[in-house]
Amino acid sequence: MSLSNLRQSMSWLHTWLGLVLGYLLVVIFFFGSLSVFDREFDRWALPETRFPAQPMPSFDRMLLPLFAQMAPEAQELEAARGRVSTPLPEKLKPVNFAAYTTHRDPVVGLYAEYAVPGNPNDPDDHVHGHVTVDPRNGRLLRDDQLKIGSEFFYPMHIGLHLTWKNLGYWIVGAAALVMLAALVSGVIIHRRLFREFFTFRPRKHLQRSTLDLHNLTGVVALPFHFFFALTGLTIFAAMYLPVSETMLKPQATAAMMAEAQARNLPYAAAGVPAPLASVDAMVAEAKRRWAAHDMAGEVGYLVINHPGDRNSYVTIYRGGSDRVALLGQAIHFEGTSGRVLYEEPQPSAIAKVNEFLTGLHLQQFEHWALRWFYLFGGLAGCACIATGFLFFVEKRKRRHPAGARWADAMAVGTVLGPLAAALAMLVANRLMPEIEREAFWGVWLLSFAHAFGRGRAAWFEQCCVVAVLAFGAVLLNALTTGDHLLKTLFIERYWPVAGVDLALLAVGFIAAGLARRLAPMGARRAMAAEQAHAS
């Protein structure tokens, strides 16, 4: 095959891969960009969490009594009743307790897993409980409040909120594979990558300037896009590959049992009640050992396995704010005595690479400049795909007006729809937090319906909506909480909330500027031309 034929075939592949799954990739990129600042969105959405980040509090004095009061989520419990052959006991036995925090978290998340007996299809069936605690005083946050960043934007990025059979993870994985193929085919198509790095002609006609912007955003952030598509696949490789609990559960269980035995850790509970030794003393010993290895730090993740059982053991992970790996230096303690059972050795070379790639993708370490780079890289990916849509439509609208109209409407609903929906969610958070999710899905659905009904005019009109929602969210935050920008910027210098407000203002001004470029008269002319072509 000649080089020109290869480029032609790659052009066809690049176009149709982008058109078929590009809509999905825009959503994944957009919510991945927002997830970079998920904890900051959490603080904006929950005013009672607007205080400095705190270390892990005392387990013995604060967390243990809270774990004793926890219960499974009502929805999960109701679903479990339909899976068992006998009535569930009034109180389920806990399988493990866990506490998690980061250097950006003012609050601590407590998680619990409870065994569900009587399921004939799954003897290891379980349900979960979750609460959020203020580590300064042990006060629980209301459980009906949504952490918009970590509990909505981030799950949207990794799984599209499609939880049945982990369907969302599989769809996102397929999209990542398609993106890798689109990136490789895009490199083959473009012979002058270096020149396209510096080429953008905004005053040219729409088709030319759109292609320039598509090439520019694709080339500038090419390493970023390739890296994140690849690492996104590696993070969930255990789910996608057959050697995992999702496909070969008996084999995966046998491997976990063998691993636990090799580490001198009990895999199952003994069924014999026994008290838990002081976890605070174990934390102190873990910190001493970390400091001895020149890795002083705070606890990031703490797990109590088989609580209240003779085979209980405690695993303490060091927080990873000063290293790329998400968590590390785990030390396992015997729950009944507090003696060290196993201290994780230095990982193998392969494990280090996997930890590095995972940590670099999730970016929970302390590096604010890189965090902003991630945000702009993700938004560049959105711009690259969106301009690809526009170029496709502009090039074909004369020959295929009906198909181009559908593609254009899908592009509007995919590019502006998620943005308007996310902003509507923030507005609802300040007005009626009980309908945050409904506001998100409702506005996104309306965006698609409006785009199909209004054609090219939808770009202008939805830009106006985005601007109004962005400015409205900032205003409502100031009115309902008193945390206006003068206070968060100059008086208290509380950057998480100030940063979200400033970003919202930037979005509002950019959307208003775009709306001005797409003036109503221009939108009417475009719609009239579209109707003339259709007739």
> Are 252 and 270 in the same domain?
no
Least confident stretch, 242-256, 262-276, 303-317: 242-256
Q: Give the type of residue at 10.
A: M
Task: Give the number of domains in the chain.
Answer: 3
Domain end position, chosen among 261, 282, 306: 261
Tell me the per-residue pLDDT of 494-513, one tens digit each, with 9 for 90 and over.
Answer: 999 999 999 999 999 999 99
Neighbours of 135 (CB within 10 A): 21
DSSP 25-67: HHHHHHHHHHHTTHHHHHHHH-GGG-S-------IIIIIHHHH
Q: Tell me, what's the pLDDT at 465? A: 97
> Are 267 and 256 in the same domain?
no
Q: Tell me, what's the pLDDT at 521? A: 45
> Are 151 and 32 in the same domain?
yes
Calpha distance 493→31 (Å, rounded): 27
Mean pLDDT over all residues of the chain? Answer: 87
Tell me the per-residue pLDDT of 46-100, one tens digit each, with 9 for 90 and over.
Answer: 999 999 999 999 999 999 999 999 999 999 999 999 899 888 998 999 999 999 9
> Are 166 and 270 in the same domain?
no
The model's pTM: 0.89
Question: Is there a domain that residue 391 lies in?
Answer: no
Q: Regarding predicted confidence, which is higher, 239 or 246? A: 239
> Are 157 and 283 in the same domain?
no
Choose from 187-191, 325-329, 369-373, 469-473 the range with maximum mean pLDDT: 469-473
Q: Do the bridges between strand 108-115 and strand 94-100 make them parallel or antiparallel, or are there none, so unpaired?
A: antiparallel
Which stretches within 152-220 are classed as H helix? 154-159, 167-189, 193-197, 206-220
Q: What is the mean pLDDT of residues 7-11?
A: 72
Bridge-partner residues for 317, per DSSP?
A: 301
The answer to whether 316 and 283 have CB atoms below 8 angstroms apart is: yes
Calpha distance 133→97 (Å, rounded): 14
Which stretches within 70-149 are classed as H helix? 74-81, 148
Give the closest residue to 130 by CA, choosing from 104, 150, 102, 156: 150
Question: Is there a domain that residue 387 lies in?
Answer: no
Question: Is there a domain that residue 465 lies in?
Answer: yes
> Are 21 and 68 in the same domain?
no
Question: Is there a domain that residue 197 lies in?
Answer: yes
CA atoms within 13 A of residue 242's CA, in its CB half-sphere: 0
The band of 383, judged by pLDDT with boundaries at 50, 70 and 90, is confident
Instruction: List the domain range (segments joined by +) for residue 410.
Output: 397-535
Domain end position, chosen among 196, 231, 261: 261
Question: Is there a domain that residue 525 lies in?
Answer: yes
Question: Is there a domain that residue 270 lies in?
Answer: yes
Tell me the per-residue pLDDT of 393-448, one tens digit each, with 9 for 90 and over.
Answer: 666 666 666 666 787 888 899 999 999 999 999 999 999 999 999 999 999 999 99
Give the closest residue to 217 by CA, choosing from 389, 357, 4: 389
Calpha distance 396→418 (Å, rounded): 25
Q: Tell me, what's the pLDDT at 251? A: 79
Calpha distance 100→302 (Å, rounded): 7
Residue 25 has pLDDT above 60, yes or no: yes
Q: Tell me, what's the pLDDT at 523? A: 46
> Are 168 and 230 in the same domain?
yes
> Are 105 and 186 in the same domain?
no
Calpha distance 127→72 (Å, rounded): 6
